[in-house]
Structures are given as structure tokens and as C-alpha cells.
Amino acid sequence: MNALPRIARQCLSWIATDEEREERLGDLEEAFGHDPAAYTRTAALCFLVMLRRRVARAILHGGQDMLRIFVWAIFSVFVTLFVFAVAGGEPDILIQPFEWAIILLIMLGFALGSGRAASWGQILQDLRRADRLKGAARPAARASAIANMLAAKGAAEPNDFPHLQTIIGLARVSETDAGSLIGGSIALYRERSAHRLQIVKATMTDAYIGAGIAFLLGLIHTAGSITEPPEILAHLLAGATCALFFGMVIAHAVIAPIGGRLSGLYGEETREMEAMRVSLKGGDHVSFAQTAFEALTASSGGKHPARLSLFLGLPVFLAILGLIAITPMGDLKQRLGLSPPADQTGGPIYFDMPEVSLNLDAPGQPVLTYRLALQFDSVPTIDAISIKINELQDAAQLQIRGMKPEDFRGSEKLTQMQQTLLARFNDLLKPRQIQQVMFKQAVVR
Amino acid sequence: MGRNSLGSLEEAVMLIILALGDNAYGVAIRDELSKRTERDHSFGAVYTTLDRLGDKELIFSWLGDPSSVRGGRAKRYFKLTDAGQKRLDEAIRARRELESGFLGGKLA
């Protein structure tokens, strides 16, 4: 065989599922085994047909399940951020690593304490099993793979159907007892799958409990900082409220889709077990394939006609939403015409620093009592200031201590000092910037 | 073409699967289709039709034994499902009614 048929065969093998590879390469070999040109032409055509089908399937079914769960989690977060930004929220407020950490630690603690962590290992294995067979969500593909497994053709990995391995084993034990043994096995499987779904639900509850605790801790933190300026208090309160949002994101964008997928998988597998119980009496793997197929398709509920347009439109919608979400939020609100430019947004923000008394380095060491106010236009700068407040105070005291009492009578020295402090403060607050440093009060005694 | 309608090629493939019985696999279906319709059908067209019928849950398939003439590869056999059998019966009946209408001059 020369290079071209080999390349065509390789392309086809690369894109085909195990079953398709067996079927199509076998058919090509049988029909064109002695005609390399026809073999290449037909293999290339089959490759293109299959590629088109794969792309359509990926759009229709959204790829594999784990990937779909991930995509929906990202989608949910993007939608939430979008709505939050349009409603006037500042995205920086959502960066609250402590709240995330508290919720996740509480969930982990509950999972370890209640012994649910071990079951999550099984749950993730179940999810991987659901992903393993290409296109295996389709009842026909599953029924066919099971029939192949029964006929020991090796086309399906037995690990893909562990629930059926038990039944096959039981059927071989004793013909008279097989019926009741298989019935017991199905009941056991139902109980186990219900338990795993229960664990997923309990984990969702853990996420809410974690969110509640993180919220309360945030409130306590706010109450403990009650002497702080209103800007800082508002920020702390917002951080506490964000904990509730994080809990909901974890519960509904991550845990709930896992539960939904598992529920579907367990339903499919239970129907397959029931189908096998019926068909094993006949002892014929082909009749099983048909029985299993009818059982699975009977309860699959059919596909929604609107699905194609939904899944074609969704990637476009996601892409637009993603682009908007990663755009700086200030710009976004301006682009949507929801708010004026930043320099007109609610005017400047002022932050009052605590009052300070110190001795000036002047004869008689007069006492200066002063209070500085900082002016800026970005809410997140409040966070930067509150974190660096001690350093700002030290820097200010260092500069101001060298002034003389008469410097506070004229404006020249004060203006100079304001400029010096502005440069020093901006250096300390990088990358945040303030626009002005003002003396709200300066009394020399 | 809607999901519930049956195309002429789909109907022909289903009839051939029915006629071939236990020997309905890719090469046989394609050969029989080309012979009966007196047209050369490509494998691509046959596989697309088979895949579409599978999606509509009108046929199901399973792998058979490997054979040396196929380079050690197995055949994939096809069979009509109950729903497929029913849909084919309906399509044939509808066409016969239409034909008898024409022949009887009722639609003239």
C-alpha cells in the first residue's frame, strides 16, 4: 500500500470511534483492497463526512459531559458578572479570596467529617465513565457497545459498564436463581446510586452553609471595624455579602450540573440492567441489543426541535458575553450608555485619615494637631488606603515633623507639602492613585 | 428535511436492510443499493444515511466477527428497530395510497 491510502486510513482512524474504525476500514478493505486510488478517494470522502458529523455533534451536544459542566460554570459566572456590572457593581469587590477560602474549607471539613469525601471519589469515577464512550449518551451507541461486550468482541471496555458485569456474573451462577439474584443486584444498584445523588445534594447544602458562615464572619468583621470610615465599612459589608454569591455559584454552577449528569447516567444504567434481565433469558446478545435499545429509547423522551438553534446561538452569545465581561467594567457601562464617563461618575471620593498630634522639630517643640483628607475617583482605592494606612501615616509624620509653625500660616509651604505628600502616597499606593492630599485641619499649639 | 420525515434514500436503505436480513452491513447495503437503483452510490452517502437513521432511532447496529478479507476488521450489522419497521410500513402505505390515487384518476 503506498503513502496516500495509508494517510487516508490514518486520518479516518484518528477521527473515528472504535466501532466506526472497525466498520469503515473493514468495508474499505473489502470493497477496494486491490484498488488504492478508489480506496484513497473513498477514505477521504468518509473522513470528510465523519468530520462534518463530529462538528455538528459537538455543537448539538456541547462536547463531553465534564467539559459541558465546566463550560456552564464559566457561563453562569459570566452572566452574573455581566448583570452585576450593568447594575452598576464594581467587579473588584468580587475579588474576596478569604470568603472563597472560608466556603471551600468549610465544605472540605464537612466532607471529611461526615465521610462523604470518599464517596466523591466514586462520584468522579462515575462522571469519567459517562465521558469515556464517544457519543455514548446515545442509546443506540450504548446498546450496541453492550451487545459487543456480551459477544466478547472487545469493542467496548468492560469498565464502561461495571453495572452489567455483576449481572452477567450472576446469570452464569445458576439459571434458577439468576432472576432473583439479578433483581437484588438492580435494587442494590438503585440504592447505591440514590446514595451518591444524596451526597451531591448534601454537598450543595454544604456550599450554602459555608456561604452563611462566611457571611456571618464578614458581618462580625464589619462590626469589629465599626470605628472605621463609612467607605471602609461599606466595603467590608459588600465583601460579606459576596460570600452568599460565592456559595450560590459553587452550589448551582458546579455541584448541581454534576448531580444532573449523574442522575441521567444512573437512569440510563438502570434501564440497561432491566433490559439485560429480560434479554438474558433468551441468551442472545443481538436480541439484547434490540431489547436494550427499545428500553433506552422508549424513555429517552426524544430531542427538542429547538435544540439546534439554541446550541448554534449559544456559542455566539457566550462569545459576546465573554468579550463584554472581560472589558473593563467602567468602559462597559459607558459603552452601554448606562453611565457617564469616569470623571463625571458621582464626583470625587474623599477619605478622612485619622487625626494626628505630633511635636514639630522646632525650638520649644510646639504640638501640631492635623487631619489629612485624600481625594480620588475610584472606589477600590479605599481598600488600598485601608491596607496601607499605617505606612501613609508614618510617611506623612516624617515629612510634616520637619515643618516650622510659621509654615502653616502661609499657603506656599502647605502647597509644597501637599505635593510632596501626594507623590509619596502615590508611590506607596501603586498601582492605585489619588488626586489630591488636603489639610482638613492643622492647629499648632 | 424534518426529523420525522423519511427521505427516499433512507427508505431505500431501510428496505435493503430488511431484505438483506442477517447480512445487512456496509458493503452489502451499498452494493445492493447501487444494484437496485441502478446508480452508483458512494460509501459516504450510505454511511451518512445509516448514521441519520441511527440518530432517528429507526435502526440499531452491532459488530460481528472479524474476517481476513476485511484486513481482520469486524462487520457492523444493521437491523430495523420496532419504530423503524413501523415508520417504513407507514411510508410504503402512504406511497401506495398516493400511487393508487394517481392510477385511479382520483387526483386528476
Cα A49 to chain center, whole Å?
34
Q: Would you give per-residue pLDDT tens digits along chain A (445 residues)?
A: 578 888 888 888 887 877 788 888 889 888 888 888 888 888 888 888 888 777 666 555 544 455 566 666 677 677 777 777 766 666 666 677 777 888 888 888 888 888 788 888 888 888 877 766 544 445 666 666 666 666 655 455 556 677 776 666 665 655 556 666 777 778 888 888 888 888 888 898 888 888 889 889 888 888 888 888 777 787 788 778 888 888 888 887 788 878 887 887 888 788 777 777 766 655 555 565 566 566 555 544 444 444 445 555 665 666 666 666 555 544 545 555 444 444 444 577 888 888 888 888 877 888 888 888 888 887 777 878 888 888 888 888 888 888 888 877 777 888 888 888 898 888 888 878 888 888 888 888 7
Chains A, B: CB pairs < 8 Å: 108
Whether B16 shows a pLDDT value over 90: the answer reads: yes
Q: Which residues of B touch A27 (CB under 8 A)?
A: 25-27, 30, 43, 70, 75
Which of A49, A151, A305 lies at the smallest CB-CB distance from B48? Answer: A49
A286 touches chain B (CB under 8 A): yes
Q: Are A12 and A47 in contact (CB under 8 A)?
A: yes
Can you list the pairs that B32-37 forms with residues at least 24 positions away whose Cβ atoms lie under 8 Å? Answer: B36/B12, B37/B12
Q: What is the pLDDT of residue A273?
A: 77
- Cβ burial of A439 (10 Å; 0-12, 13-18, 19+) is middle
For residue A94, the 8-state DSSP code is G
Which residue type does A30 have? E
Which cell is A365 given? 517643640
Dihedral sign from CA coordinates of B27, B28, B29, B30: positive
Chain A residue at shortest CA distance from B75: A23
Q: Would the CA dihedral through A161, A163, A164, A166 be positive or negative?
A: positive
| The model's pTM | 0.45
